[in-house]
Amino acid sequence: MRVLHVIESLDPRTGGPPAVAARLGAAQAALGARVGIAALAEPGAAQRVRESFASIPGLDAVSLHELPRPAGTLGRLRLTRLTEALATLARNADVLHVHGVWDVTVRAAHAASVSSRVPMVVVPHGMLDPWSMRATPAKRLKKSVAMALTFRRILNHASFFHTLNADEQAGMAPLGLLPACEVIPNGVFLDEFANLPGPDEFRGANPALGADPFVLFLSRLHHKKGLDILADAFTLVLKTHPGARLVVAGPDGGALGPLTAQVQRLGIAGRVHLVGPLYGRDKLAALAGCAVFCLPSRQEGFSMAITEAMACARPVVVSDACHFPEVGSAGAGHVVTLDVAEVARAISAVLSDPEGAREMGRRGRGLVESRFTWPVIARLCLEAYARHGVRGA
């Protein structure tokens, strides 16, 4: 079985999909597949990519291919060099596993799939979720036009959609797309969480935290991640837990400025720590040291950060829009609505019950070990290829 993963960028600043593509590819290679990952050339991202991928077991068995980045408007319309590069790679593949929806690599992968007669699988990563499709009137119009003119034809060419949870599958149904869905989640390599940093390592690098318990937000700083909701909720948390702190970690996706202004306006800037993006051991140290992880997103496909927090045995507070009901059913934390008071109550409940929080963490770790590991997920993908007639599967 020869698998080529195609993704626009491997830069961790773009969110979770690069981590997913790299780890899924490594896990498939460990099962005997010949795996490559093709992504656009990304000037200035090499160090971030190395730091983010350094701990992935078996990644050295995966071949990485740098694709030519289209230049200018004409280049993005024609995609000649990009399509030729992908067509060359596709001739040595049995399946193209394409990550994303709206970018140039999806268009080029479709063209390469057609010309080389190699089947294509699409992972939307939540990009066809109703919230994502209608986030703003401008985006709603732009995506509706793009779907009608180009992307419906491209997506209908897929052998199947690799959706990350049942909610994502249901949310795509109104679009009337033809391919079937295979629900296969994301996961972790347990090896990456075998020797975690001590609970005080992150504090050593951030002495302003002192010994105070901290709530951790770790994701891209984007409106859809609900940082504005979290800031308002944290103001309420401070009324019952005045010693708590909020650590916000992640690359800026447009929400840093509004968040900075909001915490100043709320008068909580002294309790909020903006630490920027964290990768590798620094990220694990933040997860291992937090009292509770919180992600009140307005929309998620399948959050790697939630899974990683549970792998670190931390209790989590997540919104129902994260589509991770297993958190609640396993007793690994609280699943809440996008209500400020409800988010605050859940965080306060965890901070008020350290022994209960530890038990939530243990349950979360058990959930990850039983259901969300990359070796299991890689095998599910290979089996899905076979069900849909991919040669070599």
Q: Which pLDDT tens digit goes with each residue over 153-168?
A: 999 999 999 999 888 9
Quick one: tokens of 119?
Answer: 């089947």
pLDDT at residue 51 tops 80: yes
Which of the four pLDDT bands, split at 50, 70 and 90, describes residue 393?
A: low
Fold classification of 190-371 is Rossmann fold (3.40.50)
Greatest alpha-carbon pair distance for the chain in Å reads 63
Yes or no: say if 172 and 161 are a contact pair by the CB < 8 Å rule. Answer: yes
Note the pLDDT of residue 71.
76
Question: In 3D, which of 36, 47, 45 has the Cα closest to residue 7?
Answer: 36
Q: Give the class (CATH, top level) of 2-187+373-387.
A: alpha beta
For residues 127-136, give the mean pLDDT. 82
pLDDT at residue 77 tops 70: no
How many angstroms separate the CA atoms of 13 and 361, rounded? 27
Which of the four pLDDT bands, split at 50, 70 and 90, describes residue 281?
A: very high
pLDDT at residue 359 tops 90: yes
pLDDT at residue 140 tops 90: no
Residues of the chain with CATH 3.40.50.2000: 2-187+373-387, 190-371
Question: In 3D, which of 123, 126, 127, 152 has the Cα closest to residue 139?
Answer: 127
pLDDT at residue 208 tops 80: yes
Note the pLDDT of residue 119.
96
Kind plus residue range of the DSSP H or E element containing 90: helix 80-90
Residue 274, SS3?
strand
Note the pLDDT of residue 33.
96
Note the pLDDT of residue 277.
93
The Cα-based distances of 251 to 23, 37, 106, 232, 256 in angstroms read 21, 23, 24, 21, 9
Backbone angles phi, psi at 94, to 5 degrees: -100, -20
How many angstroms separate the CA atoms of 269 and 206, rounded? 16
Sheet holding 245-249, edge to edge: 272-276, 245-249, 214-218, 292-295, 316-319, 333-336
Note the pLDDT of residue 12.
87
Note the pLDDT of residue 55.
84
Mean pLDDT computed over every residue of the chain: 93
Kind plus residue range of the DSSP H or E element containing 47: helix 46-53
Note the pLDDT of residue 73.
67
Class of residue 311 by CB neighbours under 10 A (exposed 0-12, middle 13-18, buried 19+):
buried
Note the pLDDT of residue 75.
61
